[in-house]
Chain A
Amino acid sequence: MESLVAILYLIAVFAFAYGIRMMRHPKTAKNGNFISLVGMILGLIGAMIQPLDNGDNNYIWIIGAMIVGGAIGLPLAQKVKMTAMPQLVAMFNGLGGASATTIGVVELININNQTPVGAKVVSILALIIGAISFTGSVLAYLKLEGKLRKQWVVPGHNFWNLVIILVMIALGAMISSANSGIGWPLYVMILLALFYGIFFVFPIGGADMPVVISLLNSLTGLSAAAAGGIYGNKAMLIGGILVGASGTILTILMCQAMNRSLWNVILAGKFQAGGGAGSDEDQVMKEITKPDAAILMQYSKNVLVIPGYGLAVSQAQKIVKELDDLLATTGVDVRYAIHPVAGRMPGHMNVLLAEADVPYEKLLDLDDANAALKDTDVVLVIGANDVVNPSANDDPGSPIYGMPILNALDAKHIIVMKRGRGTGYSGIENPLFFHEKTRLYFGDAKASLNEIIAELKENL
């Protein structure tokens, strides 16, 4: 039996790694996800049949809990709208963290004078990391749902940050040297870890969510690995570490895409608003009329769409596809330029456009898009702002200077669809909007696109 369990765990770990590997290409990704699921099922079976030294098995509790969990998770996954995907992923992630916390709590309650220090330490790690990931994800969920727009930084945030971490380490030392688990250090530690998740995500703004979500994802993986450390379970350890490592690298990629360090995102919390050129009073935004916009696109050789969070907000992905199809009938080549941090989670725009049946070959990444922009007739910016802000290239005073952007100005004409005249979320002026090549089209993205589609249909 022991060796059967060992083989099950071995296959599970291999399936996780191979499943992630197959996610490198859209064609194989779906099978990769399935292989990873098979690995998970084998792992669960392993945990069910693994020989244990003591205990009454209590299978009825396990099966019952599994059915309840599955019955809650499945409908959530099937019913959610694609635009609400970042929230849901954040929520699932938080629950994984909560699960690790619960395990850590039970193990710490059960401490006796025979518990090895190592087991206490990993239990504490599972508890703390899981709890941070749980409340952090819940907060991220609320922010993404738009239920929480506030963003506040406590005076001396970095100082308190350090204090909380030090107190948690001190409590951890107390608990690991204790011979029984129940006591105030455990309760205070649970509360403090839960609070820390809130404290850590609260100051971070919506535009930085791609970084936060992948960071929280990585934390949940680490908490699962720590829980695996308690039982010396290889599948949990390696599976958790794989998630932790992959989440970390994804976090770093997101930070690079914004040319900011992770510390800058976490600690500074937000871009410093204002500053930079382009705030000169005499500059005006030039609007474009409905017929002009339609004709400009209709008689161009190619159109490159640059989507941003605004597209997600107004759920305009299907309408964009309709415009795409309509333009295609007149021989216009429509493609899409996707900035790595456009939207609220890594790859957000790709998922939305995929939902609208846009083939993935039409989505260009940053480098390809910038190469294509030099030969583009019309750029259509839909609800994107910072990712097309030319200050990032040429204004050292700008808060986003050095961030890699989509060089929309390389195209012949630029149409920007924008809700209002404001500077958008980050509060940074965007000289692109004032440029002589640029025309603004104000209004909700979905409504604006519908107007242009109606106009095009009349022309055809």
Chain B
Amino acid sequence: MEQINLFFNENLLEIYVLLMAIFLGFELISRVPTVLHTPLMSGTNAISGVVTLGGIILIRSAESTAYLQLVLGALSIILGMINIVGGYAVTDRMLKMFKKEK
């Protein structure tokens, strides 16, 4: 119980931020029209590529001889970068196709 109390006191701001982020996510999406659901999905999918930041920090905090960590970290960056580059590029390609009536 004490640990839980401590956790809350230490991370109160983070908890507020997370709750607001959840709320913001709900609000932002509920107003997107059906027409744009696919680009929206692939666009937010690209955002989940932020996980790459973790891979970068992981490799940077490794010693230059910790090969297991370096290789796995590089793997996570490669996977994350495919997600980012592919996600944004494909979303852009889709959105370019949406045209107004001439």
Contacts and interface: CB of A to CB of B under 8 A. Distances in A.
B88 A37 contact: yes
A351 B47 contact: no
B42 A89 contact: yes
By secondary structure, the A interface counts as helix
A102 B86 contact: no
Interface stretch (A17-25, A156-164, A400-408): A17-25
B1 interface: no
Contact of A242 (B28, B51, B56, B68): B28
Contacts of A347: 34-41
18 contacts: A16-B47, A17-B24, A26-B36, A34-B92, A36-B47, A65-B77, A69-B52, A96-B49, A96-B80, A102-B75, A106-B58, A224-B49, A228-B50, A240-B51, A242-B21, A253-B30, A347-B34, A363-B35
Contact of B47 (A21, A50, A242, A359): A242
B12 interface: no
B36 A350 contact: yes
B45 A220 contact: yes
Given A66-B81, A73-B83, A250-B40, 15 more contacts: A29-B36, A29-B39, A40-B49, A56-B64, A68-B81, A70-B82, A93-B83, A96-B49, A96-B79, A100-B54, A106-B72, A239-B48, A242-B28, A246-B44, A248-B26
A434 interface: no
Contact of A73 (B21, B29, B75, B89): B89
A354 B80 contact: no
B85 A77 contact: yes
A237 B91 CA distance: 23
A48 B52 CA distance: 11
A248 B94 CA distance: 22
A227 B37 contact: no
A238 interface: yes
B47 A239 contact: yes
A224 to B, nearest CB: 4
B22 A220 contact: no
A150 B48 CA distance: 30
Contacts of A70: 81-82, 85
B40 A20 contact: yes
B89 A237 contact: no
B54 A227 contact: yes
Nearest to B90: A77
Contact of A243 (B3, B47, B64): B47
Contact of A62 (B60, B75, B100): B60
Contacts of A26: 35-36, 95, 98, 100
